[in-house]
Amino acid sequence: MKLVGAAVFVAALGLGATAALGEDVVDGIAAQVGTEVVLISDVARVSDPVEKKMRAAGATDQDVAEMRAEALEQMIERKMIALLAKRAEIEASEAEIDDALASVAKENGMTSDALRKSVESQGLPWETYRKKLGEEIVQQKVVGGMVRSKVEVKEDEVRALYQQRYGDQPTGGREVHVLQIAQAADGDKPSQHAAACERVRAALGRVRAGESFSKVAEETSQAAPDFGWIHEATLAPWMVSTLAKLSPGQVSDVIDLPVGCAALQLVGTREAQPVSYEQAEKELRAMLYDERFQEQYRRFIEKLRKQTYVDRKGVFADATRIGAKAPDAGEAPHLQ
């Protein structure tokens, strides 16, 4: 059983110091789930820190409303799972909670006493933390029994995915690590094309002045700034011809393209090494497992929703009006 660290675990539960210290919050019922309720303050404790980051990044009211609605849906799912566990008399023993606490402390390089001090320093009573950790264990037990036990990945499926992804990979040649700054013209007019090229030229000016290409690319490129390691055979001809003139670390001039302009940096080169099945097997198996798990989890939650009374209140009542995803469209929580 894998449990997240102390500080992260507290934050994930929405039980920050302000709540534990009794600071005033506007409260009410966000949703009725069977015989349980999700309070508006519960949603706020989870979503408020996220909202601050979203607002700082320029998020709109609609974006925030969607985030809050999705946070509520995840809390509804947890309530439904808790109700199922209660009916099935699934519990977390004191020994299991003690083992989980020891695991959290070990993963964070702490002693048990240090973990307790860390939790309580955030304003969360230790017994409350133990209780919430027990609830997390119960959630994992239910998901493990009802979902994970039904997930199977067969060897021939992994090999088929390997063939799909790597069957036609080049067996020789050169791989390159490439960064790019790319700007597309906003329209078909020559002035719009020139403006795109000027944006790339300005970005290159920052690089010539001493800023790292990767930083400038991350901030200005409209396309993915980092290709990572990629075989030259998969690149567009204009990229291959440009890179052929560069040594590792060098940066191209502005490249005029039909749709805009770009600039490249050749970070490094290496001889291509075909990916063997043995090298890819673990990652591919994990990809298939996660895909199957997500599908099984969706089915599990859909069934629970049909069996559980759920009534969203107030601004949460009309998910379509505030732009939230459909209740059964979310991803499964990572309860590993």
Q: Confidence class of residue 169 from pLDDT cuts 50, 70 and 90?
A: confident
Cβ-based neighbour number of residue 264 at 10 Å: 24
Write the CB contacts of 103 (distance below 8 Å, at least 6 apart in sequence): 1, 2, 3
Token pair 């001493």: residue: 210
Residue 30 tokens, joined: 């966000």
Half-sphere exposure of 301 (CA within 13 A, CB side): 22
Nearest CA among 121, 115, 137 for reference residue 16: 121
Q: Tell me the domains of the chain and their CATH numbers.
A: 6-152+290-329 (1.10.4030.10), 174-271 (3.10.50.40)
Cβ-based neighbour number of residue 24 at 10 Å: 7
Dihedral over Cα of 99, 101, 106, 107: its sign: positive
Give 302-330 pLDDT, tens digit per residue. Answer: 999 999 999 999 888 865 444 444 444 34
Give 228-286 pLDDT, tens digit per residue. Answer: 999 998 899 999 999 999 999 999 999 999 999 999 999 999 998 888 999 999 999 99
Write the CB contacts of 245 (distance below 8 Å, at least 6 apart in sequence): 252
